[in-house]
C-alpha cells in the first residue's frame, strides 16, 4: 500500500495494513479509553487478520492481576504513570500472544486521579525485540475530547513505531545502506 493510500484510509486502517504486510499481530490494553481503541480498529474491515483482542483494565487491580503491572509501582505512583503504560502494553502483548501491544492510561475527568490533572495521559507501544515507546500527553478539552485524542495518539504512536521498525529492518537487510 502506498504512503498516499495509507494517509487516505486513516490511521487505524494504516496500522492494520502495516501489521498484515509484516504478518504480525496486535493486542490493546485500555484504561481511560474504555475500549475505544479496540472499537476504532475493529471498525476496519479485515481487522481480524491481525487484531488479537483487548483488555479494558479500568480498575487498578486488573492492571496488576490481568496485565501483570507491578503492584508496588501502582501503590507508589498510581495508575496514571508512564511505566504503568509501558507495563500494560507489554502485559497485553504477553497475555494475548501478540507481536505488538499498545496501552492507554490517564485522566479523562471530570476530576483528577492519583494526584494527576485532568488531561494527563500516557500511551505506550511495546513490540518485538524490546521495541517500545511511551508518550506523555497533556490534553485539553472535555472528557470526550481527551478520550478521542488518546485513541488517535496511541494509534499514531504505533504507526510511527511500525514504520521506524520497518526502516531499521530494511537497513539491516541491506547491510546498512
**Domain with residues 3-169, CATH architecture:** Alpha-Beta Complex (3.90)
* Residue 165 confidence (pLDDT): 79
Query: Can you give the residue ranges of every domain in the chain?
Result: 3-169
- pLDDT of 10 > 50? The answer is yes
This prediction has a pTM of 0.91
* Residue 1 confidence (pLDDT): 42
- pLDDT of 46 > 60? The answer is yes
Distances (CA, A) of 54 to 10, 140, 156: 20, 26, 18
Helix (H, G, I), strand (E, B) or coil at 60: helix
Distance of alpha carbon 127 from alpha carbon 167, whole angstroms: 15
pLDDT band at 3 (very low <50, low <70, confident <90, very high): very low
Least confident of 9-23, 95-109, 136-150, 160-174: 160-174
* DSSP category for residue 113: B
A 10 A CB-CB count for 6 gives 17
- pLDDT of 168 > 80? The answer is no
Distance of alpha carbon 60 from alpha carbon 57, whole angstroms: 7
For residue 90 the three cell numbers come to 507489554
Distance of alpha carbon 106 from alpha carbon 114, whole angstroms: 10
- pLDDT of 125 > 60? The answer is yes
* Residue 128 confidence (pLDDT): 93
Looking from the CA of 67 toward its CB, the CA atoms found within 13 Å total 37
pLDDT digits (tens, 9 = 90+) for 17-42: 999 999 999 999 999 999 999 999 99
pLDDT digits (tens, 9 = 90+) for 53-108: 999 999 999 999 999 999 999 999 999 999 999 999 999 999 999 999 999 999 99
pLDDT band at 112 (very low <50, low <70, confident <90, very high): very high
Amino acid at each position: 500500500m502506498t504512503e498516499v493510500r495509507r494517509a487516505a484510509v486513516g490511521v487505524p486502517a494504516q496500522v492494520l495494513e502495516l501489521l498484515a504486510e509484516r504478518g504480525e499481530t496486535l493486542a490493546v490494553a485500555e484504561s481511560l479509553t474504555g475500549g475505544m481503541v479496540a472499537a476504532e480498529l475493529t471498525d476496519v474491515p479485515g481487522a481480524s487478520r491481525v487484531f488479537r483482542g483487548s483488555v479494558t483494565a479500568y480498575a487498578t487491580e486488573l492492571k496488576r492481576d490481568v496485565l501483570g503491572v507491578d503492584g508496588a509501582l501502582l501503590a507508589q505512583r498510581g495508575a496514571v504513570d508512564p511505566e504503568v503504560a509501558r507495563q500494560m502494553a507489554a502485559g497485553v502483548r504477553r497475555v494475548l500472544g501478540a507481536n505488538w501491544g499498545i496501552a492507554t492510561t490517564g485522566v479523562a475527568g471530570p476530576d483528577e486521579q492519583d494526584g494527576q490533572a485532568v488531561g494527563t495521559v500516557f500511551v505506550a507501544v511495546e513490540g518485538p525485540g524490546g521495541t517500545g515507546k511511551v508518550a506523555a500527553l497533556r490534553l485539553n478539552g472535555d472528557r470526550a475530547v481527551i478520550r478521542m485524542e488518546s485513541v488517535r495518539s496511541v494509534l499514531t504512536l504505533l504507526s510511527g513505531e511500525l514504520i521506524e521498525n520497518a526502516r531499521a529492518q530494511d537497513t539491516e537487510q541491506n547491510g546498512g545502506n
